[in-house]
Structure 1
Amino acid sequence: MSFKAGVQYGDFKGTAAADRADKDDVSDYLRSNGLIQSGEFLIAVELWVGENHAGKVAQPSIRALVVDAPDHDGAVREVLNQNPVPVRAINLPIALDQFLGLFKRFAVTLTIRGGDLDGKEYREV
Structure 2
Amino acid sequence: MAEVFTAGVQYNDWKGTAAADDADNVSIQTFFRGKGVPQDGFVVAIRAYYLSVSPGNIGVRAVYADGDGFDSVNDQIQSTDNPTFKELDIDLTLAEFFGLFKRFNVVLPMKGLGLDGRNYEIQNAR
TM-score, with length taken from structure 2: 0.84
Q: In the TM superposition, what is the alpha-carbon distance from 1:34 to its structure 2 partner?
A: 5.0
Q: Is the 8 A contact 2:56 2:94 kept in 1?
A: no
Gaps of 5+ in 2: none
Q: Deviations over 1:20-47 (max 9, x none)?
A: 011213222123x251212211100011
SS in 1 for 2:57: coil
Aligned pair 1:17/2:16, yes or no? Answer: no
Partner of 1:77: 74
Supply the distance in 2 between the matched residues of 1:46 and 1:83 (Cα, whole angstroms): 21
SS in 1 for 2:21: strand
Q: Is the 8 A contact 1:16 1:109 kept in 2?
A: yes
Matched to 2:112, the amino acid is G
Matched-pair identity in % = 32
Partner of 1:29: 31
Supply the distance in 2 between the matched residues of 1:90 and 1:34 (Cα, whole angstroms): 8
Q: Is the 8 A contact 1:22 1:104 kept in 2?
A: yes
Distance 1:59 1:22, change over 3 A: closer
Q: Is the 8 A contact 1:79 1:86 kept in 2?
A: no
RMSD: 1.8
TM-score, with length taken from structure 1: 0.84
Supply the distance in 1 between the matched residues of 2:109 and 2:31 (Cα, whole angstroms): 32
Q: 2:93 aligns with which of 95, 98, 111?
A: 95
**How many residues align structurally?**
120
